[in-house]
Amino acid sequence: MDFPIPTTKTQIRAFLGLAGYYAHYMKNFSLIAAPLTHVLKGKIKKEWVTWTKECDQAINKLKTRLTEMPVLYAPVYKREFIIQTDASDLGIGIVMSQHDEENEEHPVLYLSKKFTDAQRKHGTIGKKCAAINYAIKKLKYYLEGQNFTTETDHNPLVRLKANAGTNPHLMRWSLALQPFQYKVIHKAGKKHLNADALSRSDIE
């Protein structure tokens, strides 16, 4: 609900990526989102958009849909958790999800955090590891004693799970995950838009 009002086309696309990830749970999603998709049209490539009352109504309605049933679910501890993480130059985005009895994926909670100045200086792999470390730290009470999957759009992290080498960020990540029962899988960036949008938002 605290997701900031987009002011550029890039920010609108990011929010629509998050909402669109769960579009099949939202009746009339395209109609609700129409004011937002409308401002993206046209040959004018300027980033800044003219925000209207209709845009305001659309984003507020989508925020409400994203934070209530049938999109958002309560956790069920007998099912495996899915931890989707992403990192941008701005910060970290995390979505914890589960599959329901019909194997449909539902979010359980959303997290985001801005990077410190020091963290912004890390390379891509360091930022992606920071996202995983933050997720484990914040969600450990859900994850202790549970099997879970971590999904990342950074493929090297899948291989480096068992071989952190001498990279201090990877070694810290491996040590933090040792008490947990987990696997890491790669998920293509275009299928990872929910966590991606949160990592690029200016919210805590």
What are the pLDDT tens digits along the chain (204 aa)? 999 998 889 899 999 999 999 999 999 999 999 999 998 887 666 678 889 999 999 999 999 999 999 999 999 998 999 999 998 888 999 999 999 999 999 999 999 998 888 888 888 878 888 888 889 889 999 998 888 998 988 776 666 555 556 667 677 777 777 788 888 888 876 777 888 888 888 765
pLDDT for the residue numbered 201 = 80
CB atoms within 10 A of CB 74: 9
- Asked if residues 157 and 129 have their Cβ atoms less than 8 Å apart, the reply is yes
Please state the pTM of the whole predicted model.
0.84
Exposure string over 167-182, b if 16+ CB within 10 A, otherwise e? bebbeebbebbeeeeb
What was the pLDDT predicted at 164? 59
pLDDT of residue 53: 95
SS3 111: strand
Q: What pLDDT does 146 receive?
A: 85
